Amino acid sequence: MQTAKAPLVRPHSATGFDLKPIAAPLGIVLSILGVSMLLPALADVSSGSGGADVFLGSSAVTVFVGVLLWMSGRGARIKRLDLRQAFLLTFCLWSVLALFAALPFMWGRPHLSITKALFESMSGLTTTGASVMSGLDDMPAGILLWRALLHWFGGIGIVVIAIAVLPLLAIGGMQLFRTESSDKSEKFMPRVGAIAKGLLLSYVLLTLLCTVCYLMAGMRPFDAVTIAMSTLSSGGFANSDSSVGVFASPAVDYVAIVFMLLASLPFPLYARALAGDVTRLVTNSEVRLFLLIVAAFTLASFAQQSLQGINQGEPAFRGALFTVASLISTTGFMSVDYTHWGPVSDALFFLLMFLGGCTGSTAGGLKALRLAIAGRAVRQHLKRISYRNGVFPVRYGGVPIADDVVASVLGFVCLYFATFLAGGVALNMIGLDLRTAFSAAIACLSNVGPALGPVVGPAGNYGGLPDAAVWILTVTMLLGRLEILTVLVLVLPRFWLR
């Protein structure tokens, strides 16, 4: 008598999770990072500042590990990368790259510890712009170029991930943000290459244009190139402890303002503009909301400076517009020290740190898209209280939005504030005062960079913080850049066992 065979059941374990499709692209990107370290080495050689051997050694180690990863995963079918692998790859790209990008900061000048070197590299790749380094005016050219390159690489990587990956992961309503080449399948890798081409071309052209404008404003070529890369990436690393304020030039300020705002707009609209569709840049509802917020905060800051006698006329307007553009774009450049403008200014700019730019830009923060949907959801709820039998769909861009998308946005906004509060409380428990703790938490979560106060404000840096605070802020930068849920989902057992 034959016994019936038990059906095969796939065990719910991590052994069913294939890591090879992740290893190959991670190895390729890591190898590209290693090769790019040769550029700072050349800068050190040409400037005679020394330190080229540090970048050569870092390059060799990074490329070696990258090639090993590529070889271990080259036989995998990368085009069949699923959503779980997309989550893990997104996390690994920023965390692993930051680890290897920290090598030049540890091995060469300024000889940072692993804690502070990782903070600096994470700040670069996440385009936060918070720094633990001082004495930038005398720093070797290679280190300054490396910081700018980290910003520039991180900026284009953020745009591609925001457009090609996050809409498929449905994080915080990102499923609303789709390009014409998007689809609803779980296979996203074939889309990345097609999307990246148009975005990269727009990114490169804007960077070149920004460089030319900085040159015309009087910058030296090296400063123009590095600061243009920081500007278009919404990064904020500069070549002086005084940031772009060292130039004391209205022309430089206005160039920075224009390109910080341009970097805050959706990059797919630039790709469409290159294809001949320029009207989207002015008709897009998210762009209009973003520019309205910029105008409102600029007028408020200008009025506050004028009424309190801080500044008057054009300097007051330029200082207000520059600071608002710098904070809402999450670039973090400093032209004037706004922390001396009083508590009203502190409250104004503290609120501004939460907002951020548009979806699909290099800016961080909550994004104008989510702010618009959250505002419409609140208005819908108020109408339902007044008219219980009424039907009031939430609309965006004239199109009704599904309830699950609205719930996703509201859930993300709540999680964003919860993460900010957790970070601020943790920093305060370590010993930081309330102003420093909570402003540093939101500055790193929104990838702004400088916060409020004399320690982490625009005139200071994060180098004086205890190591525990530096680690908390390093994790906070990663959480903010990867939209929080992309990281938190990795700690759920269900993610690995399904």
What the block records as the tokens of 12 is 């719910």
Q: How many CA atoms lie within 13 A of 2 on its CB side?
A: 3
- Residue 448 is labelled as binding a ligand: yes
Please name the residue that has the structure tokens 């910080």. Answer: 260
Cα 263 to the chain's mean position, in Å?
11
Gap between the Cα atoms of 118 and 492, Å rounded: 25
For 174, which DSSP code?
Answer: G
- Residue 57 is labelled as binding a ligand: no
- Residue 3 is labelled as binding a ligand: no
426 and 394 in contact (C-beta within 8 Å)? no
- Residue 128 is labelled as binding a ligand: yes
Gap between the Cα atoms of 240 and 259, Å rounded: 20
In this structure, the dihedral spanned by the alpha carbons of residues 292, 296, 301 and 303, taken in order and rounded to 10 degrees, is 140
Which of 210, 311, 334, 326 lies closest to 257 in space, CA to CA? 326
What the block records as the tokens of 89 is 């790859």
169 and 249 in contact (C-beta within 8 Å)? no
Question: Quick one: three-class SS letters along 204-262?
Answer: HHHHHHHHHHHHHCCCCHHHHHHHHHHHHCCCCCCCCCCHHHHHCCHHHHHHHHHHHHH
In this structure, the dihedral spanned by the alpha carbons of residues 355, 358, 359 and 361, taken in order and rounded to 10 degrees, is -110
- Residue 179 is labelled as binding a ligand: no
Gap between the Cα atoms of 229 and 211, Å rounded: 8
For 339, which DSSP code?
Answer: G
Gap between the Cα atoms of 105 and 90, Å rounded: 24
For 7, which DSSP code?
Answer: P
φ, ψ of residue 39 to 5 degrees: the values are -65, -50
Gap between the Cα atoms of 66 and 407, Å rounded: 40
What the block records as the tokens of 81 is 């990368």
Burial class from Cβ neighbours inside 10 Å (0-12, 13-18, 19+) for residue 221 reads exposed
Q: Reduced to 3 states, what is the DSSP secondary structure of residue 396?
A: strand
Gap between the Cα atoms of 415 and 494, Å rounded: 20
Annotated binding site: 127-128, 235, 330-331, 447-448
Annotated binding site for K(+): 127-128, 235, 330-331, 447-448
